[in-house]
Amino acid sequence: MDAPTKIPRRPATVRFDGRILQLTADTDLVRRQFVGEDLPWDPERALMDNISTDEITPGWVCFYYDETLAEYALIGLRGGCVLKDDVKGGGFGVVVSGLSKGCGSSRETAPYAEFWAGIRLVIARSIEKIYGQNSQNIGLLTSTDFGLVPRILAGEEIPLAEFTGGLDPISRDIVEYGGLFQYNRARLRGEVRPPAVATAPRAMTIAEKILARQAIADAGTGAVGVPAVRPGDALFVRTSIRFTHDYVTPMAAALFRMGFGPDARVSEPESVFAFRDHLTFLGQVMPEAHRRMGLLERADGLAVTQREFTRAHGIRLYDESPDGGSEAICHNAVIEDLALPGDVVAGTDSHTCTAGALGAFAFGVGSTDMANAWFTRDVRVAVPETVCFRLSGHLREGVAAKDLILHLMSDAFFRQGGGIGKVLEFTGPGVAGLSVDERATLTNMAVEAGAFTGIIEADDVVVRYLLANRPGLTRGDLEGRLLRSDEGASYARTFDVDLASVPVMVARPGDPRNGIPIDGLEEVPIQIAYGGSCTGGKMEDMDMYARVLRRADERGLRVHEGVQLYIQFGSQKIKRYAEERGYVELFRRVGARLIDPSCGACIKAGPGVSQDPEQVTVSAINRNFPGRSGPGKVYLASPLVVAASAVVGRIVGPDAI
């Protein structure tokens, strides 16, 4: 009998035959390329920065998860400078842009849309971590070397090694095999093995300690744990929790069947969870044009497919609730119900890092990574460097964790891409004064700085929170899980932050890193104030809305004429919390519209979205990329600012009430 054919690797050189699409800062030049003009290469020409995955594939495009995506590649770019089939029909093989390509959501539909439209290479000044990993997984090459452009234009064959230099060994092999599924087939057949982690014991950060504990030490036996890791070590890590939501489960399920066969089963389904949380209220806001395209039925079909998959595999589904809306947004539920200190949490959402507030190592992955993790229980990780924020003092009255993270992200280090792929660790005596909910705001928004994840050591604040919210959990259950960074641990950079110096902040439209102190903001009238989402819909967020709105109520003030104030709960538990404290009656009395738990307006899928470009929103959500919450302009701010602005009618600090 003939020996089975080995899984092939890519050829040693690559030729790119298509046109080069230059995503310039001048959108008129972008349009000219779609009508046939080829721009000469000018390395001094300004390129478009911060192209988010929301712009590559807007939320409604993600209702597709097949080659239809190619028709809509980049269709959300800068308010509509790319039309349907522009990329697919343009004969492009390479796309070039500036800083932070692929920031934002972990949606793998973004690189898939580009790939299926014919793009085979993405070149950018910097490439965001999740987008880059998703590209590797599907066989889309990436580079930050603009010197490739003239060589490609000259017809040169490029050595594949130029796209693997600097990668960790696992990522290099995945690129050489042409994608994660090809690599994993070779891995499962023993044709390729991850390198053994041979790092000697050393002082480690909390993130490194968790990864060392959960590292797959022996691929053959599945043994877990190595003495130590260091930045750059490539490994597979055993997950404690894997989760998906309604946007992504169907695509991951299709990839799972494609990769492992129709009879494959999800491993250890008791540690796998799914959420009907993103599209619950989509029908209330979907534009008529999208309805005519049949997109509402397609979106509802995602939930049906998710229910069928979870039922078939015995997976716990957080579904719609008889009390209205969803049981919970995935990130809120992971904090409330699921994650524990020391866990490794992988979810198909970039804000999975929220669980770092409990001292877990939590990070977002794409559909291909999750499809593999359902089967193998592990996810690949190159141990990241850590940036340390040493917090001291206390936040001033009227200043919240949202102000702190907007303040930190406005630093040039993050605006220029310095945070990409790194862990953000928040430590120091100032952490003790922050509740779990406020810590969750910091870790949730770590990804907005381009980070791999955010993490805070689990102290007595976390222990008390867990014991109060997890029936049956004891202090003994948490022993051995309460890790902290070692003295002498190595950091890529350390920031010393006096919390008392943090001002009330606002992030201007376009990017969460566009933060400025509110005192430096010009007068900005608003039409919408939105308080909700995983970032702004927690229990302490409800406390903050209530604090401002109670003062307004006592003065006889109401939501300003011409402003719509929306307050949305992150889970049914949070909704009950607000009801028990009388917040619901207060919110309604001052003129707020209350929305049951779901993601909603944060992803343009529920009440609170803008309807035209002239509308201005002040929002407690986590990101404000173009088109993310409708065509209008979105300013990010704390719950305190959102509530005060709703009453005054323009963006103001909480001391205005």
pTM: 0.93
Give the C-alpha separation, 363 to 447, whole Å.
Answer: 9
- Give pLDDT tens digits for 489-532: 999 999 999 999 999 999 999 999 999 999 999 999 999 999 99
| 124 has pLDDT over 60 | yes
| 294 has pLDDT over 90 | yes
Task: Provide the sign of the torsion angle of the four alpha carbons 242, 245, 247, 252, taken in this order.
Answer: positive
What pLDDT does 79 receive? 77
Q: Label residue 1 by pLDDT band (50, 70, 90).
A: very low
Q: Label residue 120 by pLDDT band (50, 70, 90).
A: very high
| 320 has pLDDT over 70 | yes
Q: Check if the beta carbon of residue 361 is closer than 8 Å to that of residue 455.
A: yes
**For the domain with range 385-501, which CATH number is right: 3.40.1060.10, 3.40.50.300, 3.40.30.10, 2.102.10.10?**
3.40.1060.10
| 450 has pLDDT over 70 | yes
**What does pLDDT average to over the chain?**
96
- Give pLDDT tens digits for 467-490: 999 999 999 999 899 999 999 999
Give the C-alpha separation, 580 to 339, whole Å.
Answer: 26
Q: Label residue 655 by pLDDT band (50, 70, 90).
A: very high
CA dihedral of residues 100, 130, 633, 637 (deg, nearest 10) = -100
| 3 has pLDDT over 70 | no
Name the architecture of domain 505-656: 2-Layer Sandwich (3.30)
Name the architecture of domain 241-376: 2-Layer Sandwich (3.30)
Helix intervals (H) in 325-482 = 330-333, 367-376, 401-409, 412-415, 436-444, 460-469, 475-478
Identity of residue 276: R
- Give pLDDT tens digits for 623-644: 999 999 999 999 999 999 999 9
| 254 has pLDDT over 70 | yes
What pLDDT does 221 receive? 80
Measured at the alpha carbon of residue 600, what is the angle toward residues 633 and 245, in degrees to the nearest 5? 125
- Give pLDDT tens digits for 565-609: 999 999 999 999 999 999 999 999 999 999 999 998 999 999 999
Q: Check if the beta carbon of residue 432 is closer than 8 Å to that of residue 458.
A: no
Mean pLDDT in residue range 82-87: 98
Mean pLDDT in residue range 62-87: 95
Q: Label residue 80 by pLDDT band (50, 70, 90).
A: confident
Q: Label residue 218 by pLDDT band (50, 70, 90).
A: confident
Please state the separation of Cα 239 from the chain's center in Å.
18
Cβ within 8 Å of residue 473, ≥6 positions away = 466, 467
Q: Check if the beta carbon of residue 163 is closer than 8 Å to that of residue 135.
A: no
What pLDDT does 2 receive? 53
| 540 has pLDDT over 60 | yes
Name the architecture of domain 13-188: Alpha-Beta Barrel (3.20)
Percent of the chain with pLDDT over 90: 96
Partners of 317 in the β-ladder: 274
User: What burial class does residue 6 get, using C-beta atoms within 10 Å of its C-beta: 0-12 exposed, 13-18 middle, 19+ buried?
Assistant: exposed
- What is the number of residues in the chain? 657
For 97-136, b where at least 16 C-beta lie within 10 A, e where not — what string?
bbbbbbbbbbbbbbbbbbbbbbbbbbbbbbbbbbbbbbbb
- Give pLDDT tens digits for 41-59: 999 999 999 999 999 999 9
Mean pLDDT in residue range 108-133: 97
Say whether 505-656 and 385-501 share the same fold: no
Domain ranges in the chain are 13-188, 241-376, 385-501, 505-656
Hey, is 420 helix, strand or coil? coil
What pLDDT does 341 receive? 98
| 233 has pLDDT over 80 | yes
Hey, is 4 helix, strand or coil? coil
**Nearest residue to 352 via CA among 329, 375, 326:** 329
Mean pLDDT in residue range 546-562: 98
| 211 has pLDDT over 80 | yes
**Nearest residue to 135 via CA among 324, 383, 433, 367:** 367
Both tokens of 226, joined, read 């190595």
Cβ within 8 Å of residue 603, ≥6 positions away = 59, 278, 628, 629
Give the C-alpha separation, 96 to 551, whole Å.
Answer: 51
Tell me which H or E stretch contains 590.
helix 583-590
Q: Check if the beta carbon of residue 638 is closer than 8 Å to that of residue 403.
A: yes
Give the C-alpha separation, 513 to 494, whole Å.
Answer: 19
